[in-house]
Structure 1
């Protein structure tokens, strides 16, 4: 009886040791996190024209680049134009093996339109925000998708957002709303991908810089994808993430078929 007890105790301790070593190994292997921001143009390739949807092409771009976190803009959910059976954020999550969160901005084409995030890591908490317009504006309400997840052993915030394309007045109001969100998350390292619809020297950018650090100085053009000349897509971090993380390999992906924006990427690692 004593031998069985000792053997059982030994096997239990061994199993616990193996599990602990496995977890330690998995945590130790997380040396780099790859981040992408991608305006997917509702998965409608420019060369095919509106009304043609190729969600697999977007999934192929993501799978080839192997990001761990993806900020998506211009995402359709159950719309007539993209397919009433298609939830694009969910579809992409299934095709890439990632978790997702969609944030609605407006009703569009019989369904929903907004932004989303994909995460290789489990989502701890998900939040959705709408970014307003000035009174009487002809612009478009936009959205921000926010998740909490865990990387490098700590809770982090990842955000995707899309700003209005018509006026600085509306973008300023939307940035001010974004800054409130960013301030509310300042105790966490925060990573932020967005189509800001602004060039780097736009004065409204300076308002956003009160809360984030841009990961580029001489920022690469991201639009249009076939002949990129404008920089309107960005990856950013807050002060806490800038202090803790080393940012490297900031780049665009040379992919002109799937969308009219180039995917934007960077790698982060602990300092």
Structure 2
């Protein structure tokens, strides 16, 4: 309004100029806002700079490595592997020609034999000259009886039957379950006493172990060599760790033992002390009883002198790898870039 109270009016050109100015202002504000956002992403403090992902859409993997950063050295290639033994189980093994449990006075002393075996704290017992239901030893099933006394599993390999209905052969007693058993007749010359190879597979805490009981011919070196040749064929085809023990009826320097050592190691030679003589029981002069092994680790071995039989007994401590080897890759030290 004027000083005199009258109402004043704006000229037409003033209205047009005001409208144009307002329109330009409305256009400029969004442009400034968008520009500020763009420059705040790409510029500003370098320590706060964002790195835009490249590559596939956000739903897939994204590469967040800044352009121009150094490429990491590639991982070295394994040059081999290092294997160490797994957990081992200690085994105490006894091999003994028991002469059907006859004592020095000629009487059957089966209970004395059982208590003697128990005192040695074995896990496996390999027995030769064993009777089963023989009239001469009171019709007792000796393997089953000894197994009951020791609370062991037992098995018997019959190599000869008598007219009275009894049997004679070898036996195996085991603290561990017996999974399978096979008794193989060995070759012999006409008129020779039948002999066999008793093979049992036992489960030692989840690991299978083969145990072989041997009793070779006592009258003929030719027969023994033929029998050992058969044993070699059977044992070498067996992939399991093995114990081979018994009365071989031959000395360490014989061709028979040379063949035996070609497929199994002599435990006495590894950890025994002295000559290891086993017969006769009193004042022994010869070593004819053996404990061989393959796939185990000998720790200790002794010759024991019981009061039963005409042989001394073999006692050995062996370690069995019960969990397999643990193998890790070997990585060579790569050359660092200068």
Work out whether 1:251 is the aligned partner of 2:302. Answer: yes
Q: Which runs of 4+ in 1 moved over 6 A?
A: none
Measure, in 1, the Cα distance between the counterparts of 2:252 and 2:201.
Answer: 28
Does residue 1:48 correspond to 2:105, yes or no?
yes
RMSD between aligned residues: 1.8
* Equivalent residues in 2 for 1:1-271, closer than 5 Å: 31-45=89-103, 47-49=104-106, 52-84=107-139, 86-108=140-162, 110=164, 111-134=166-189, 136=190, 138-151=191-204, 153-185=206-238, 187-217=239-269, 219-238=275-294, 241=295, 245-255=296-306, 257-270=307-320
Distance 2:172 2:201 in 1: 11
Deviations 1:50-102 (A, max 9, x none): xx211111111110001000100000011111112x01111110111100110
Distance in 2, matches of 1:102 and 1:126, equals 9
Q: Structure 1 residues 167 and 254 mapped into 2: Cα distance closer, same or farther (>3 Å)?
A: same
Residue 152 (structure 1) shift: 5.3
Distance (whole Å) between structure 1 residues aligned to residue 111 and residue 308 of structure 2 = 9
Residues 172-224 of structure 1 deviation map (CA, whole Å, 9 limit, x = unaligned): 11111111221221x10001111000011112211222221111226400111
Question: What residue ranges of structure 2 are gaps of 5+ in the alignment?
Answer: 1-86, 322-338
Partners of 1:223 and 1:253 in 2: how far apart?
11
- In the superposition, the TM-score normalised over structure 1's length comes to 0.81
Count of aligned residue pairs for this structure pair: 231
1:270, distance to aligned residue in structure 2 (A): 4.3
Q: Distance in 1 between matches of 2:235 and 2:313?
A: 23
Q: Which secondary structure does the structure 2 equivalent of 1:124 belong to?
A: strand
Measure, in 1, the Cα distance between the counterparts of 2:198 and 2:170: 6
- CA-to-partner distance for each residue in 1:14-34, whole Å, 9 max, x for gaps? xxxxxxxxxxxxxx7x74110
Structure 2 CA distance for aligned equivalents of residues 249 and 224 of structure 1: 23
The whole-number CA distance in structure 2 between the counterparts of 1:209 and 1:146 is 18
State the distance in 2 between where 1:247 and 1:154 align: 18
Distance (whole Å) between structure 2 residues aligned to residue 83 and residue 173 of structure 1: 35
CA distance in 1, matches of 2:301, 2:145: 27
Larger Rg over CA atoms:
2
Unaligned runs of at least 5 residues, structure 1? 1-27
Deviation at 1:153, TM superposition (A): 3.6
Cα contact 2:157–2:170 (8 A) shared by 1 = yes
How far apart, CA to CA, are the structure 2 residues paired with 1:152 and 1:214?
A: 25
